[in-house]
A and B are shown apart, each in its own frame.
Chain A
Amino acid sequence: MNRRRLLVPLLLVMALVGAACGADDEEASTATTSGEGTSTTVAAPEFAAGTTMAALQDKGKIVVGTKFNQLGSGQKNPTTGEVEGFDVEIAKLIAIGIFGGTLDDIGDKIEFKETVSGIREAVIQGGDVDIVAATYTINDNRKKQVDFAGPYVIDGQTVMVKSDNDTIKALTDLTGKKVCSGTGSTTPDNLKAKQVTPSELVLRATYPECADELRQGRVEAVVTDRGILIGLVAASSRAFKLVDIDVSEEPLGIGLKKGDDAFREFLNTRLEEIYASGEWADAYERTLGKLGLKTPEPPAVNKYASTGTATTLATTTIPASTTTAAGASTTTTAGGGSTSTTTSADGSPSTSRP
């Protein structure tokens, strides 16, 4: 049993090493042929005085809040000390839009600061960071405190079953089945929101334990983030597979200071640029793609109108008791036992405890 437990981290390490090697190759090739289809040197654009972009150019550096412990999105490589992942790549591409340069040298102009889920609003409001790209789900609650550019990707939870299972094809098939997820995950809320009632919802401390339950036939499905499940599938030697079900949709955006509309406009435009140039897809392929996720279509950015208060999307029923204090935790406040329909959604709903 121990050997199998070790397998998952081992595979992840191998994936990381592989990614690192890939990056080296790329570097070598850019030196000679100035890169193939990736970023070529971009000249620094001119920005109107007084904008955040101009201020950043003057400072010569952008501070980005990201996660340091989320494989594929933002993780500090223990050997190199570099932060790696999709969020990191997006931040680099944005920085190129401000300072010019290439993917290889833009790292000098970015300072990554570890930003865990609970402090994301606080570091934006306090000015500790210029932007946050940390699997940061866009939702109305958060829009009261910060603004979002993007979404730059739609993440979400999905379903893993045994490879020979052909009875679970849709989310509703989970009703009456035994389902496993992680202790502290938002899966129970997500399932409730979609009116799915498993016969038993098993919560285990780690996901390999859920994988055990699935293998031993104690549960029929495991529900959590795609990024986590893809790692378990990879480690299962084809015993498990993912089912094409979206349990929840988490539009991930870039957090910035509320009311800085010119900056938000710039970020949105820049995202559209990297969608069109293919740099977005390249970034996905060399990070989340390496874990086995298919590169999706880039999502349309939401250039919502600037408002003093949150824009209402009408689908959510969040009690008004949401705290407004800076740095307050962003977990949903479900008053009166009614489960709020928004997930408490940091972008990594199931990996991190609230």
Chain B
Amino acid sequence: MQFVLDNRGLFFDGMRTTASLTLLSFAAALVVGAVVAAFRISPIPPLRWVGATYVGLVRNTPLAVLIVLFFNGFADAGIIVQSRYLSAVIVLSAYTGAFVAETLRAGVNAVARGQGEAARALGLTFPQVLTVVVLPQAVRTVVGPLGSIFIALIKNSALAALISVQDISGVTEQLITTTGDYIPLFAAAAAAYLALSLPAGFAVSRLERRLAIKR
């Protein structure tokens, strides 16, 4: 236990890395997800196919595989991202983006068909229909599910330790060799993750209540 306290600085560094990794990846995932969701519901069939293929491939592959594949495998194909951190952000946002896309699509489907038709009747273009009328309503209904994705992302980011990113998990694995005391070190790691994910969960439920559509 003393050992954990002596190395709390490292743990705090790890928490900062996990937090920034998560926030950055989530921001990027929202963009990826919005674009892919737009593809998925687009009136142009080839775009729909692209969106469906992306979601099908990325969502159904284990994250651990994607992280190592991108970092080590793509490097063989000439795509070398030197920064481990940046590699992790790219893969985490690409992966999470697929889930965001499916959630947004579900949200869009939840918006009454008449809304879109009315917007079209008013002469709005397809992008305008999406950004002005449909998405704002869709997003409000999916704040809860998006929050779940965010919390999942906090925990998924632990896999960045596979390519030696020094997040909470990376720090824990580095320290474990010195003492071999699994219980205190992993208890500390669990506490560190909870310290990030519990407030996140709380914030999400507050946000959800504030944005809820009053009916």
Residues on A close to B: CB < 8 A? Answer: 1, 183-189, 201-205, 209, 212-213, 216, 218, 329, 331-337, 339, 344, 353-354
Contact = CB atoms under 8 A, between A and B. Distances in A.
A249 to B, nearest CB: 18
Interface centre among A203, A209, A334, A335, by most chain B C-beta atoms within 10 angstroms, is: A203
A40 to B, nearest CB: 45
B178 A203 contact: no
B180 A344 contact: yes
Contact of A333 (B73, B163, B179): B179
A1 B179 contact: no
B76 A184 contact: no
A218 B82 CA distance: 7
Contact of B72 (A185, A201, A216, A344): A216
B109 interface: no
B178 A189 contact: yes
A334 B179 contact: yes
Contact of A209 (B72, B80, B180): B72
Given A209-B68, A337-B3, A204 B177 contact: no
Interface string B157-195: 000001110000010011011111100000000000000
A354 B177 contact: yes
A188 B174 contact: yes
Contacts of A337: 2-3, 6-7
A1 B72 contact: yes
Contact of A188 (B3, B72, B177): B177
B174 A354 contact: no
A345 B73 CA distance: 33
A55 to B, nearest CB: 35
A191 to B, nearest CB: 11
A354 B180 contact: yes
Contacts of B181: 331
B6 A336 contact: yes
Chain B: interface secondary structure? helix
A205 B162 contact: yes
B75 interface: yes
A186 B180 CA distance: 10
Given A204-B164, A212-B72, A216-B80, A335 B3 contact: yes
B182 to A, nearest CB: 8
Nearest to B84: A202
Given A1-B76, A205-B162, A185 B177 contact: yes
A336 B179 contact: no
B68 A203 contact: no
Contact of A339 (B2, B76, B170, B178): B178
A188 B174 CA distance: 8
Nearest to A338: B6
A213 B7 CA distance: 28
Q: Which 6 A-B pairs have the closest CB atoms?
A: A331-B180, A337-B6, A354-B180, A202-B164, A216-B75, A212-B72
Contacts of B180: 329, 331-332, 344, 354
Given A203-B173, A337-B6, A354-B177, 18 more contacts: A183-B173, A185-B177, A188-B178, A189-B178, A201-B174, A202-B84, A203-B164, A204-B162, A212-B72, A216-B72, A216-B80, A218-B75, A332-B179, A332-B180, A335-B2, A335-B3, A336-B2, A353-B176
Contacts of B82: 218
Given A1-B72, A204-B164, A336-B2, A184 B176 contact: yes
Nearest to A180: B164
Interface centre among B68, B164, B177, by most chain A C-beta atoms within 10 angstroms, is: B177
Contacts of A336: 2-3, 6
Contacts of A205: 162
